[in-house]
Amino acid sequence: MHRRVLALALALPAALLAARATVEGADAPAAPPAAASPAVAHPPMPGEERHLANIRQLTFGGENAEAYWSYADDLVVFQTTRPPYTADQIFTMKPDGSDLRLVSTGKGRTTCAYFLPGGKRIVYASTHHVADEPPKPPDRSAGYVWGIFAYDLFACDLDGGNLVRLTDDPGYDAEATVSPKGDRMVFTSSRDGDLDLYTMALDGTDVKRLTDAVGYDGGAVWSPDGKQIAWRAHHPQDDAGKADFKGLLARGMVRPTKLDLWVMNADGTDKRRITTLEKASFGPFFTPDGKGLLFSSNLADPKGRSFDLHLVKLDGTGLERVTFFSNDKHDDFDGFPMFSFDGKRLLWCSNRHNARPNETNVFVADWIP
């Protein structure tokens, strides 16, 4: 979840505690805006982006992020802010950028969509049950912070119909991804007074807590065999850091300037820290062989404002920069990578080739190991 970090203002959620409305059986959403433009090809950076070939841009304009493949690699689900909507809504499209369709209700703010087994339904987080209008951005008087909105998790058909609410908690439930085994999902929740990882059955039952260290745990994804989970985390070690985290969380905020990557078994055992970069590293995704992670970080920018994709092995070695695009008009950003299920293609989001500084678009490329 989250659309950008630091300079690009990644969109994480923020706190509204209000009465919920039951939405099972809600009507399908209205028709979406005009269809996406055809994909446009772009070359990789010569001699540098050696892992990427046949780069194509799938969206054009607005803010587009967190694009994820269907199990058959024939559809993409993503969140986007574009007219007539003033906050993120969930759309699907084909991998060539065509056939753009609205899935979410068009109300509130949404984030973090993912396909359910079979590819006919998706899960996503939304605030539409709290209010038709999206929640306001967090108070930045505390510095750079993310808001922790009153998201709950919902599942629906690809046309938005048969909408079912999966969580009912007076706080934050979001960032869900589904195991390749097709039996459970992992998500982040504030239900126990922290921001921790939980798993549950696909119908919202059998909730199990996986993390309990003070601090933020989020953005979790599964290994290709469903046996491991990778995520981003910041666990303050001193009393001042813990007090700052708890104080911000009580106000519906979290400070994301230092995030590192962790891996654990799917049952929460054998937690181990993979990176010790002390930078804003996020959006991990397992490589197709399950032996490494592809992620986004600002570690290559001394100012911490530009983000690139990097590879790292699960033992923390072999750190390698993957994207090198630079833009003389604004800070550059590459993030939210996801490999296709056949391991041959990569989806990610970038502001390369932007018409305007604040645009982030979805790209696809052939992956060269």
Domain interval for residue 143: 6-18+51-367
Lookup: tokens for 274: 């993979």
Q: What is the mean pLDDT of residues 277-295?
A: 96
Element (H, E) at 79: strand 76-81
Lookup: tokens for 207: 């909730």
Q: In this predicted model, which residue has the larger pLDDT, 326 or 226?
A: 226
Q: What is the pLDDT of residue 329?
A: 60
* 3-class DSSP state of 246: helix
Q: pLDDT at residue 34 above 80?
A: no
Lookup: tokens for 152: 């709950």
Q: What is the largest CA-CA distance in the chain?
A: 55
Lookup: tokens for 216: 């933020």
Q: In this predicted model, which residue has the larger pLDDT, 309 or 169?
A: 309
Q: What is the mean pLDDT of residues 190-206?
A: 97
Q: What is the pLDDT of residue 327?
A: 66
Residue recorded with tokens 């002390």: 278
Alpha-helix residue ranges (DSSP H) falling in 154-269: 239-250
Listed range (41-45, 196-200, 287-291, 298-302) with the worst mean pLDDT: 41-45
Q: What is the mean pLDDT of residues 312-340?
A: 89
Residue 284 lies in a domain: yes
Residues 6+ apart with CB under 8 A from 288: 224, 339, 343, 367, 369
Domain harbouring 131, CATH code: 2.120.10.30
Calculate the dihedral angle through the C-alpha atoms of 57, 4, 90, 344, rounding to the nearest 10 degrees. 50
Residue 260 lies in a domain: yes
Query: 303 falls in which pLDDT band (50, 70, 90)?
Result: confident
Q: What is the mean pLDDT of residues 230-239?
A: 96
Q: For residue range 250-265, list pLDDT tens digits in order.
A: 999 999 889 999 999 9
**High-pLDDT (> 90) share of the chain, %:** 75
* 3-class DSSP state of 361: strand
Q: pLDDT at residue 14 above 80?
A: no
Residue 35 lies in a domain: no
Q: pLDDT at residue 28 above 80?
A: no
Cα 42 from Cα 186, distance rounded (Å): 35
Q: pLDDT at residue 33 above 80?
A: no
Residue 269 lies in a domain: yes
Q: pLDDT at residue 240 above 80?
A: yes
pTM, entire model:
0.89
For 125-144, give the DSSP string: EE-TTT-SSPPPPPPGGGSS
Residue 45 lies in a domain: no
* 3-class DSSP state of 29: coil
Residue 41 lies in a domain: no
Q: What phi and psi, each to the nearest 5 degrees, are found at residue 6? A: 50, -115
Q: What is the pLDDT of residue 144?
A: 83
Number of domains within the chain: 1
Residue 319 lies in a domain: yes
Q: pLDDT at residue 1 above 80?
A: no
Q: In this predicted model, which residue has the larger pLDDT, 23 or 367?
A: 367
Residue 80 lies in a domain: yes
Cα 94 from Cα 103, distance rounded (Å): 14
Q: In this predicted model, which residue has the larger pLDDT, 47 or 205?
A: 205
